[in-house]
Amino acid sequence: MDAKRLSKSLSCPNITPTAPSTTGILAYKALSIHIVRAQFMLQPSYLMAGFVGSSAPIFDIARFYENLPQSHPRNLLVNNQYLGDMLAEMFEKSNNNEMVMNGAEVHVPKQKVVFQRGHGYTTWAGSLEDAVWRAIHIRRDADIQTTAMNQRDATELHVVYLTEEEARDCENTINRASREHWLAWMAEAERSGFYQNDLRLGLSER
């Protein structure tokens, strides 16, 4: 699906050399996921966000401005090769993380998402469909956590996140796009008027 949307979703070519086995990479700006301080950490709050894990890294672009010319705008955009490489390095390589693609086992990044202070987040997957799926559920998870934290501040309730075991099992069993999900998103995209689908590719049978 070659989607051209009037939004801030785009592919990140800098990550591909770091993780050549990834085929779907999305950077996304969402108001609900603007990281305002380095200590903030999104946690998996419901079953569809197990893949987020409990220690997703935060990319603070301010750490890297000193290596750029003074004339380079400090506008939080990852808009040159150096900043793209620094963001890509946040997706740590892991020899223990493997994915079967085209019948072969390949090493994939340890992290599924990197959050960007004051900007949004970048996620990846082995397919475009699963990358879109992750992008959607990261945003939903942020909405759920924000609501829960607001309720906690107003009451004596505690926010309960997924345990590491729950998050891992959700990731391994249900955290992926289905053909039904993809077809529904395609239909929604076409109705919105914000997309132009030139390829009309659907999700293959799994």
pLDDT at 186: 86
pLDDT at 36: 47
Query: What domains can you pick out in the chain, each with its CATH number?
Result: 50-93+109-191 (3.40.225.10)
Which structure tokens are listed for 108?
Answer: 């994939």
CB contact at 8 A, 61 and 89? no
Q: Cβ atoms within 10 A of the Cβ of 94, count?
A: 12
pLDDT at 4: 35
pLDDT (0 to 100) of residue 23:
56
pLDDT for 1 equals: 34
Residue 31 to residue 33: CA distance in whole angstroms: 5
Residues of the chain with pLDDT under 50: 1-11, 17, 36, 204-206
H-run or E-run covering 89 = helix 81-89
The per-residue pLDDT for range 17-75, each reduced to its tens digit, is: 455 555 566 666 565 565 545 555 789 999 999 999 988 999 999 999 999 999 999 99
